[in-house]
Amino acid sequence: MTHNISLPPALVAMARAMRGGRERLVERVDPARLAHVVIDLQNGYMEEGAPLEVPMARAIVPAVNRLSAAVRAAGGTNIFIRYTMYPDAVDDWSTWHREHNAPAGLEGTLATFSPGAHHWQLWPGLDVGEGDLIAEKQRFSAFTPGTSDLEGILRARGIDTLIITGTMTNVCCESTARDAMQRNYRVLFASDATAAWSDEAHNASLANICMVFGDVMTVDEIIALTQQGL
């Protein structure tokens, strides 16, 4: 089971025209300045019957692992992001937690993603190697100020290019990719290593990224890019 990926040809042509005819924004990468950011592949999204199960997220794990191995071999950085809810999360982000969610759902989400909870943990099928990093985020975007250590980690390592994988394509992955570009990072968005609840939602996000925020590429294409010059 994989997403049926489809980008409108007219949109792809328009994006290429905006780039002066270039097919890709990113044609070369410096592995030392490359980070693979894996978004929210946690038990709470991955397990069958989990509170926020995204079935397609289980299917992308082999692709995510292949990419992690390639980035590691090239000398880049893998960073696994965990969505986290602390006790003050509801008041800090009340518009989402109180207005967009019913009380019963809110209580369940708070319990699901509290630090140390089973569903908060990374999916055990992920290839998390020695030297890989783990960071938390408390919003959809891992760049929301004051809610994640991601940007500090990236700046300290001189990272300028991000690969985005994980779930959900149209929420946390897209939000992180949008903010990354606006913080002057180059973005590679893995079309076959991101997952949503539906093909329609997945493809809509790919279209948004392709048009404005970065390169939409397959895992094989990204791996080939990381291996240039090695």
Residue 83: closest CA among 30, 40, 35, 114: 40
Domain assignment of residue 171, yes or no:
yes
**Distance (Å, whole) CA 164 – CA 192:** 11
pLDDT value of residue 105: 62
pLDDT at 1 over 80: no
Q: What is the pTM of this model?
A: 0.95
Q: What percent of the chain has pLDDT over 70?
A: 94
199: confidence class by pLDDT, cuts 50, 70, 90: very high
189, β-bridge pairs: 164, 216
Q: Give the range of the structural domain holding residue 122, as residue numbers without chain letter.
A: 9-226
Domain assignment of residue 209, yes or no:
yes
Domain assignment of residue 104, yes or no:
yes
pLDDT value of residue 230: 47
CATH value at residue 86: 3.40.50.850
Residue 71: closest CA among 125, 30, 121: 30
Rg of the chain (C-alpha set): 17
Domain assignment of residue 1, yes or no:
no
Domain assignment of residue 75, yes or no:
yes
Residue 216: closest CA among 191, 196, 186, 193: 191
Q: What total of structural domains would you count in the chain? A: 1
pLDDT at 151 over 90: yes
Q: What percent of the chain has pLDDT over 90?
A: 85
